[in-house]
Amino acid sequence: MPRIAFAGSKTTTLECMRQLLHDGFSIDLLVTLTPDQGASAKVAGYMDLRPFAAAHGIRVYHPQSYALDRPSDREGLTAEQVDVLLVIGWQRLIPQWWLEVLGIGAFGMHGSPEPLPRGRGRSPMNWALLHGKTSFLTHLIKYDTGVDSGSIVGVEKFDITLWDDADTLHMKNRMAMNRLLRMHLPAIFDGTARYCPQPTDIAPTYFPKRTAEDGRIDWPSMDMMSLYNHIRCQTRPFPGAFTYLQGSEERFYFWRGHPFDSHIRSSARPGDIVETFHDGSFLVAVWDGTVRIWDYTSPNGAAPQGGQRFA
């Protein structure tokens, strides 16, 4: 059996490792970040995977650098003599020196609302939700030194429904990743896998990196669907959509909400709190109606009041 290593530090890493073990594969090495490293790198959905690795007898390697650009990392990982590296939840490129010493190669996933080479880059699920896309493609690719430019081994497609958010898309993506690994790892191991280079007659497109500051709500530009998409693309495990109550400098985070009504807003301006309810939820006005916010975090746990305004 080839020696398998995982590189990752997220909940998706855990779920793929767990499924791989369930499917009868073995994992020899986990390259992962410590909690301090995860916090420093601001890894969304970070998870300390050391307890899982210890429970399943998986050797753990903590790199000196997330980019794996230290001589000590090159020496240490080369000595591991890995055949197949599975890159799941590792938000950095794999350096050429490691690709060159792998017995078979490095493989990972990249999702996009369009077939590769369109939709390379960062945070594709978040961008897909923000832009109101209705489907998503998870690609299993063999890594090269480029950005999501490797040959494609397999593809799984799933819906993005109106009820999906970043959390449920992660669930669907995790299922797609596990299916791709189950289907294609045996062929990767025995040398019969088919590698399809990405088309060269289609110009690649790239999603830019999203940061926590991208979560700020721009009230003048929001209608019901754009606010809904803005909230659901940044809900947990991401930093969240945020705004400020007028007169306050503390952030008010919206985690979940949905379009409510296109008539119940009277003369309210975008950002006005139109109504509050007994369960703590409230209606906030946008240009074409109202959105009900029912999962939020406020300064000191305070509930918003009618007549207040977000700015």
Q: Are residues 53 and 180 in the same domain?
A: yes
Residue 308 forms part of a structural domain? no
Q: Are residues 238 and 267 in the same domain?
A: yes
Q: Could you give the number of structural domains in the chain? A: 2
Stretches where the chain sits below pLDDT 70 are: none
Tokens of 188: 């990767």
Sign of the C-alpha dihedral computed for residues 225, 176, 82 and 145 taken in this order: negative
pLDDT value at residue 265: 78
Reported pTM:
0.93
Please identify, among 207, 235, 261, the residue that sits at the C-terminal boundary of a domain: 207
Residue 310 forms part of a structural domain? no
- CATH of residue 51's domain is 3.40.50.170
Indicate the residue type of 169. L
Phi–psi pair at 161, nearest 5 degrees: -90, 170
Taking alpha carbons only, the member of 274, 234, 271 closest to residue 256 is: 234
- CATH of residue 291's domain is 3.10.25.10
Please identify, among 178, 207, 236, the residue that sits at the C-terminal boundary of a domain: 207
pLDDT value at residue 1: 82
Range of the domain at 105: 4-207
pLDDT value at residue 295: 97
pLDDT value at residue 267: 85
Residue 229 Cα to chain centre, angstroms: 16
Interatomic CA distance for residues 258 and 231, integer angstroms: 9
Residue 306 forms part of a structural domain? no
